[in-house]
Chains A and B, each alone.
Chain A
């Protein structure tokens, strides 16, 4: 069980990369500092960054890149 779950504040489509041809913001195993961008949520054609609200090690992304996300759904787990 992860120590901390980062949740999307808004519904939309979740992306792990800033653009399709760029590498993901973070990979599993990366160190994360509060405020780091973990992904983007696209809502009605506008993009919003989802930032870490705690420090930790990235344990998992329970959601795939470019998949729908609900408000309040966990997008990353930190240990």
Chain B
């Protein structure tokens, strides 16, 4: 049952396109996969009911080509478009264009995306909803002198962030006033070049924080949460390992964190799947809102594993006009899930991306194991898009068992023909600090520098 949607067009590629096709099929909805010339042989194209070539390999000419995507929808008679993550997923003008074309956008309204996409406006919205925010400037900074005194008052080090940024992009760190006056104008002109908007705001740097985020689902009136994920293991601000629940949260903090996320989503009458991201300071027990992502996230499966829900199906159902199918008290979490991101990168060689042809492939399975991916033997990984090949997700009754199961699943995984990040995870499983979840967002990078030999050694086994 998915309301009015009969045929869904997937405006994305890779593993998330495969994931969306599966959810649609489970709901009895037909699928149209749009693809670039470089993705004609992709697994999503093979799986979908119909496929439409929308242009050359470069994303700007295909997956970001709004006109080509809308034409494909018209040609195939699709009545809804799922944007996945990345590409046009958080492009408010695209959401508006889909609706203007008489189609359903699987996600929130263009206005909600616009509001949350302006990170400074989102901070204001969070404050209004009584959600704690990182100490920082009140919105976008006006004039460098005022900003410098604000930064002084907040206390160095501070981050200078692009209002139109997000996903870890457009961020500078200033250690003192001198650095701030050098970096702030630079950050602003860079933001203007990268995002077409030079607005920047200032936030205090929380030195040792965990990244914890709450999954929400709204139908435009009511909002429910599906507890939190912890994504503290990051390299260059990109997540590499995610867990649900967080091993660090006391139950009382978890309650107020989830309540805060729901309050913010309700305040903006949120519709669809979204994630409210926080920094959590272990020592003080404080959490701070950083941003809201108005899309399905890469790491959504860990939440699905502990809550027993298909979030992608739920967001399609909501887009089709259904009300929330679950009440908060029906949403229970059980056990522990871990996801690791398998990228086409060589962790022993500074994570050099390495497109290539997949040779032998052994997919892990068995109890509590899920592998969301887009691989098949002979598949030529194109060089034009991000390096994510798939996500290995495990579930078990408790974290200790989940770590053991991850080790088992990684031992079953084999992807030959190109380097992957699998050796990194085999190496990480030997870290006592990670086993104890004694980590923060800046833990992984120094660990990588100190453990390069261990990673090399773990790379010997093939994948």
Contact = CB atoms under 8 A, between A and B. Distances in A.
Contact of A19 (B57, B193, B383): B193
22 contacts: A10-B383, A11-B355, A11-B383, A12-B383, A12-B384, A13-B57, A13-B383, A19-B193, A43-B355, A43-B383, A44-B344, A44-B345, A44-B383, A44-B385, A44-B386, A45-B385, A46-B352, A68-B38, A68-B56, A68-B57, A68-B58, A68-B384
Interface string B58-87: 100000000000000000000000000000
Nearest to B385: A44
**B38, B344, B383, B384, most chain A CB atoms within 10 A:** B383
A2 B193 CA distance: 37
Contacts of B387: 44-45
B38 to A, nearest CB: 8
B368 interface: no
A66 B384 contact: no
Interface string A2-13: 000000001111
A12 B355 CA distance: 9
B54 to A, nearest CB: 16
Contacts of A45: 353, 385-387
Interface string B368-393: 00000000000000011111000000
A12 B384 CA distance: 6
Contact of B353 (A13, A43, A67, A68): A43
Contacts of A19: 193
A46 B355 contact: no
Interface of A: 10-13, 19, 21, 43-46, 66-68
A12 B57 CA distance: 10
Given A13-B57, A13-B58, A44-B345, 8 more contacts: A21-B193, A43-B383, A44-B355, A44-B384, A45-B353, A45-B387, A46-B352, A68-B58
Nearest to A70: B383
A44 B353 CA distance: 6
Main secondary structure of the interface of B (DSSP, over half): loop
Pairs of residues from A and B, 5 with the lowest C-beta to C-beta distance, nearest first: A44-B353, A44-B387, A11-B383, A12-B383, A43-B383
Interface in B333-356: 344-345, 352-353, 355
Contacts of A11: 355, 383
Interface of B: 38, 56-58, 193, 344-345, 352-353, 355, 383-387
Contacts of A68: 38, 56-58, 384
A49 B332 CA distance: 51
Nearest to A11: B383
A46 B193 CA distance: 18
B363 to A, nearest CB: 22
A68 B60 CA distance: 12
A43 B193 CA distance: 21
B386 A66 contact: no
A76 B63 CA distance: 29
Contacts of B344: 44
A43 B382 CA distance: 9
Nearest to B387: A44
Nearest to A43: B383
A10 B352 CA distance: 11
A10 B354 CA distance: 9
A66 B383 contact: no
A68 B39 CA distance: 13
Contacts of A12: 355, 383-384
A12 B345 CA distance: 15
Nearest to A69: B383
Contacts of B384: 12-13, 44, 68
Contacts of A10: 383
A43 B381 CA distance: 11
Contacts of B353: 43-46
Nearest to A46: B353
A66 B61 CA distance: 11
B391 to A, nearest CB: 16
A69 B344 CA distance: 19
A19 B56 CA distance: 21
A1 B353 CA distance: 34
A64 to B, nearest CB: 11
Contacts of B56: 68
B436 to A, nearest CB: 33
Nearest to B60: A66
B299 to A, nearest CB: 18
A33 to B, nearest CB: 26
Contacts of A67: 58
Nearest to A45: B386
B4 to A, nearest CB: 36
B279 to A, nearest CB: 25
Contacts of B352: 46
A39 to B, nearest CB: 15
